[in-house]
Structure 1
């Protein structure tokens, strides 16, 4: 079992990826790699012009799901720390929606864990997204490409 320090936040407020990086880089012993990923709200998807996304979640259940995903990553790779922040509410196109940071002694572990977390988050975290587009609003269904990305990690 990993002893990674895991930080999870679900919030409407913007986050500071610089602060996330700083916190992850302060691990003891010093990490050899810190990998971060920031996801943004796209303004175009399948030729539909997106103005914003409206994100809803199930409080308590969402945080628990994200914690489980982070713990799974920490059990697969030698991870020192994981930071995961996901925003909720109305988010305008171009604005940050999610950030994942991973600190490890090794870059390959940090990259893999970061990608694993995003692949599982896209499939398993209880978030509901509604696109607000120039031609109306629509709830977003799961994408087959996200399901395929998750399956590549399964043994």
Structure 2
């Protein structure tokens, strides 16, 4: 599935009014292809059945570092889909999610809304977003890892 089929928008990043950040991912490719990847045993994958990660494609200190956001099936490890994103946008999002988590009682720190141009496909409330450098090493300081979770 092509990464350019996806458009990512973010809401809830106002530092003066911390609220749960929401990532809306709009899919503009063949819907059947995405639906088959999102479906397991005739139902759409739930929040606790997916993992979210961001992998840098170049060193963090490079200008305008870019990377790939990946949504994966937690049980099989298979990628459901990937899309391109800039590191600065992802790091700002992680910071907003941290701020929301510190000021709320909610277990989830952010929300992902997945849709096509015509319909809503899924909503995922998540608390973890792992960030990896270009060599595949976990960047703990840039990741969103709930307290009490050990990796």
Question: Which protein is richer in helix relative to its size?
Answer: 1
Greater relative CO (CA pairs within 8 A, separation 6+): 1
Tell me, yes or no, whether TM beats 0.5. no
Give the structure-1-normalised TM-score: 0.30
